[in-house]
Amino acid sequence: MVTKSTPDRGDAFDPDCPTRVVLDRIGDKWTVLVIGALQDGPLRFSVLRVRVGGVAAKVLTQTLRAMERDGLLTRTVHAQVPPRVDYELTDLGASLTGPIQTLTDWAETHLSQILGARETYDAALDPPLDAR
């Protein structure tokens, strides 16, 4: 069944619907990891970067700005020396923790199956050693 977007609900299968932009944001691996890291409460940038792991400061900054623009988190600057900035999920951002936790659990549970399928697929593409 094909649905049409309405003012209060989008249609992800409509190529002109902005829902696709939202899916790009919440489907981004850094957004997923930031939401997971912030689900227990606010964190400073440096702590958040360590918690997420493997993310460049520039990429994390871009992700946090995009998430703030989309209303998924707030950035609070504390007037002190040195300045302290905390990031915290909004109610909208917190509403994603359940779905994201479900996806994360699925990925962790099925990791070995995915890696095995990749190995099988890649092995079928490679020519046998005796044909080289």
In a domain, 83, yes or no: yes
Spatial CB neighbours of 89, under 8 Å, sequence gap ≥ 6: 35, 38, 39, 72, 73, 74, 97
CA pair distance 115, 105, nearest whole angstrom = 16
In a domain, 11, yes or no: no
pTM: 0.82
Q: In this predicted model, what pLDDT tens digit does every residue of 17-67 receive, in sequence order? A: 999 889 999 999 999 999 999 999 999 999 999 999 999 999 999 999 999
CA pair distance 53, 30, nearest whole angstrom = 10
In a domain, 12, yes or no: no
Residue 21 near residue 14 (C-beta atoms within 8 A): no
Residue 51 tokens read as 């918690």
Q: How much is the mean pLDDT over the chain?
A: 90
> What's the domain range around 28?
19-124
In a domain, 36, yes or no: yes
Percent of residues, the chain, with pLDDT higher than 90 = 70
| Identity of residue 102 | T
In a domain, 7, yes or no: no
CATH number of the CATH domain containing 108: 1.10.10.10
- DSSP H stretches of helix in the chain: 19-27, 29-38, 45-52, 57-69, 91-94, 97-109, 111-125
Domain count, the chain: 1
